Structure formats: structure tokens, C-alpha cells
Structure 1
Amino acid sequence: MLDVLVVDDDLRVAEINARYVEKVPGFRVAARAHCAAEALAALERTPVDLVLLDHCLPDGTGLDLVRRLREDGHGTDVIMITAVGDVDTVQAALRLGALHYLVKPFTFASLRTRLESYAALRRTVDRVGGRGPADQEQVDRIFGALRTAPTPSAPGLPSGHSEATTDLICDVLHRAGRPLSAVEVAAEAGLSRSTAQRYLRHLEQAGRLRLSLKYGDTGRPEHRYALIAP
């Protein structure tokens, strides 16, 4: 079993990422952290195999945290999971030894593919084993284990929709326990109003949300959405 530390400053996103990890056989979440200091403390308490690391943290960047880990002698593997997609940051992550770089929003299938390739890497290294020099064939197998094939969009989702954002919106509605407007959902989820409306409309049409109308002083009804209990 491979132990994972999930690091994200957004509590809801960290919870979604943790649920994704737990759905992949052979992986379990050992801890969650929401800033660099919490991540360092968690690693001191419980060493893990892999860190799923956001770049934008309240007390520094994810790359600063990786540098600190290496300086402190932590050989923990890292997969970056962040909305930051500029080439400079990606290159810096590569130079610091990040095994993968996943740009938000992403689907469960995208994360699963990368976790599975990481597990394959660990198995390959274990099979090669030994302390002697590896030949070229063994080296090629180790590096080849990290290659991931492109993953299709999650089934049942329209083009441009991600499973992570869908789960985030459903989580917002679940926590609220009452119907919310698109404006309220957008504010809670950290999304634009248009994005929230697009996802809410799809979820309502898919039968996962109940739509109700609330009439205000202007006479124009406000659309409100609530989860339909399974």
C-alpha cells in the first residue's frame, strides 16, 4: 500500500483529491495539509511515499516546499496538482524532480492514470532492485513506467466539463443542506458565475439536482438548486 499526503490550501479541494486517491487500488491517504508548515509537520510525524502538492499555498509555493524537503533530506516523491500552468513553473517542477504535473481542473481518470503509472514505477524499481549498476534496458523500463497515455473525458460529462469541478459543486450543495443560487455556488466553490451556471444546468438536466424558483421584489425568479438524495 502506497501512502499519500494531500496538500491543498482549499479544504474542499483537498477532500475531493483525497477521495480520488482512496478510489485507486493500492493507495491510501495518510494525511492532509493545507499549507507548507502543515505539510512539513505531517511528514515529520508520518513519512509517506507520495505527496500530491498544490503550488499556491498561503505560506509559500509548492516548489519552495519541494526545495525545503530536499534540503531536509526527504526523498518523498511529488506530483504537482495546481491551477498554475505557466512553462517556467512546469520547468522548475521538473528540475526539482516532480514526477508528474497535473493542471486543475482535472478528471478523476487523469489523476488515476498518473497514480497508476507511479505505482508501476515503484514496482519496476523493486523488480530491478540491487545496489549494482543498472543496464540500459533496466533504466529504460524505469523511465518508461512514468509514461502516461492520454485519458479521455470522464464518461457522462459534456466536453469542457471536469469531474473534479462537478464533485466540488456537489460538495458545496451537500454542505449547504439547502437550495443555493448559481451566485452562491460560485462564491462557495471559487468559480465564475458562468461556470457554476453551466455545471448546475448540466447536473439538473442529468437528474442529479432539483431546480426551484424563488421570486423576489423584481418579479424575476431566481433559479435555486439542491441535491437530489440518492
Structure 2
Amino acid sequence: MIEVLVVDDDVRVAQINAAYVEKVPGFRVAAAAHTAADALHRLETLPRLDLVLMDHCLPDDTGLSVVREMRSRGIGTDVIMVTAARDVSTVQAAMRHGALQYLIKPFTFAGLRSRLEAYAALRRTLDSGGEAEQAEVDRLFGALSAPPEPTLPKGHSPATVELVRRTLMGAAGPLSAHDVAERTGVSRQTAQRCLKFLERTGRVRLTLKYGGAGRPEHRYVWAARA
């Protein structure tokens, strides 16, 4: 069993990511942390951790600072960055400090699952020991590659999709495109396109509310509630 530490400043997002991890066979969430200090504490005190899903934007420091501190303390736990930070300098720094993969929010369960499954396969290969020919080395270095995530709706930024995503996650029940538009300040058309994208990628579930005459109202609920 691969023991995972989930690090995210947002408690609800950490819960969602943890639920995703638990759905992948062979993985177990050992703990969650919401600050850099808590992450380092968990890394030093838990008896075993194999993998960290590391957010970058933490309230007291950055995820990359945590990774740097891990290495300076001799903590060799593997790291996959799971963050909305997408500037090239951050991605490059993550690579230099040994992050195995970099997954940009918002992502689908399938996107995370493919990386976790690739990580598990990589561990199995490395644990077998022995020597490797060039072809095997090439396969190992490419083991964590994954199919591209579905593209965002044309003309919409990741920040907009992330805003819609957080609005759904924080809702007590299903929301319509009109509800999302009012809560986020975006247009109804923008909210509708973002909701359709999230539905297509499996992040939200479509429900129908039947009223009087006419077409039923489309309402959306975060998939973790489904």
C-alpha cells in the first residue's frame, strides 16, 4: 500500500483530493495538512509516507519551500505538485527540486488517477532492482507521462473555471448556471460553458429540476456529493 500525504490550504479541496486518492487501488491517505508547517511536521513524525500531493499556495509558505526543506532535512518522500500555480518559473523550480509530476488545477479524477497509477508502476519497477538497459531507462523516465487533460472552453481562463469549481464545492446543494453566475459575478453564458466543461470531465453531475410547463432546469452538483 502506498501511503500518501495530501497537502492543500483549502480543507474542502484536500478532502476531495483525498477521496480521489482513496478510489485508486493500492493507495491510502495517511494524513492531510493545510499549512507548510503542518506538512513538515507530518513528514517528520508519521512512521511512513511514500508520496506527497503538494499544493503550492499555502498560508504560511509555498509548497516548493516545503519541498526544499524536505530535501535539506534528508526527507526523500516522492512529490507530485497539485496546484493552480502555472507560471513557468514555479514549474521549473518544482522540476529542479525533484517533483515527479506537476498537475494543474482544476483537474479530473481521471487525470490524477493516471498519474497515481503511473507512479505505482514506476515504484514496482524500481523496487525490482537490478540493472537497466537504455530502453528500460527511457521507459522509466517517461513513466509518469499522462494523456493531456481536456482543454478549457475557448476564451475562458483556468481562474474562471477554478472560481466556478470552488463555488460548486461550497454550495449546500445543486446550483443552476444562473445561481453560479450570481455567486461568481461572471455572465450566465460563461458559467454555463464552465459547468459543461466540468460535467464533461467528470467533476460535476447534472441534475434536472422539474417545475411547471417547459423544459426542466439544469442544475449542477459537485461530483463528490453524488
Q: TM-score range by the shorter chain?
A: 0.7 to 0.9
Q: Structure 2 unaligned segments of length 5 or more: list them.
A: 200-204, 212-216
Report the counterpart of residue 171 of structure 1 in structure 2. Answer: 169
**Separation in 2 of the partners of 1:12 and 1:45?**
24
What CA deviation, in whole Å up to 9, does each residue of 1:178-200 have, x standing for no partner?
8783256539xxxx566545455
Contact 1:35 1:59 in 2 (8 A): yes
1:146 Cα offset (Å): 2.7
**Separation in 2 of the partners of 1:185 and 1:53?**
29
Q: TM-score, normalised by structure 2?
A: 0.73
Report the counterpart of residue 207 of structure 2 in structure 1. Answer: 208
**Separation in 2 of the partners of 1:152 and 1:16?**
18
Report the counterpart of residue 20 of structure 1 in structure 2. Answer: 20
1:44 Cα offset (Å): 2.1
Contact 1:211 1:226 in 2 (8 A): no
RMSD (Å) for aligned C-alpha atoms: 3.7
Cα 1:159–1:199, aligned 2, differ >3 Å: closer, same or farther? closer
Q: Structure 1 unaligned segments of length 5 or more: list them.
A: 213-222
Report the counterpart of residue 55 of structure 2 in structure 1. Answer: 54
Question: Is the counterpart of residue 42 in structure 1 residue 76 in structure 2?
Answer: no
**Separation in 1 of the partners of 2:117 and 2:221?**
32
Q: Which amino acid aligns with 2:93?
A: A
Number of residue pairs matched? 205
Q: Percent identity?
A: 55
Report the counterpart of residue 81 of structure 2 in structure 1. Answer: 80
Q: TM-score, normalised by structure 1?
A: 0.72
1:137 Cα offset (Å): 4.9
Q: Which amino acid aligns with 1:67?
A: R
What CA deviation, in whole Å up to 9, does each residue of 1:43-93 have, x standing for no partner?
222131000011111111111000000111110000001111111111111
Cα 1:183–1:49, aligned 2, differ >3 Å: closer, same or farther? same
**For 1:77-156, what aligned pairs fall within 5 Å after superposition?**
77-127=78-128, 129=129, 136-148=134-146, 150-151=147-148, 153=150
Contact 1:124 1:141 in 2 (8 A): no
Cα 1:135–1:29, aligned 2, differ >3 Å: closer, same or farther? same
Report the counterpart of residue 7 of structure 1 in structure 2. Answer: 7
**Separation in 1 of the partners of 2:174 and 2:111?**
32
Report the counterpart of residue 33 of structure 2 in structure 1. Answer: 33
Cα 1:207–1:98, aligned 2, differ >3 Å: closer, same or farther? closer
**Separation in 2 of the partners of 1:145 and 1:226?**
36
Contact 1:7 1:34 in 2 (8 A): yes
1:7 Cα offset (Å): 0.5
What CA deviation, in whole Å up to 9, does each residue of 1:198-225 have, x standing for no partner?
455787xx7425488xxxxxxxxxx996
**For 1:187-198, what aligned pairs fall within 5 Å after superposition?**
196-198=191-193
Contact 1:54 1:81 in 2 (8 A): yes
**Separation in 1 of the partners of 2:191 and 2:37?**
32
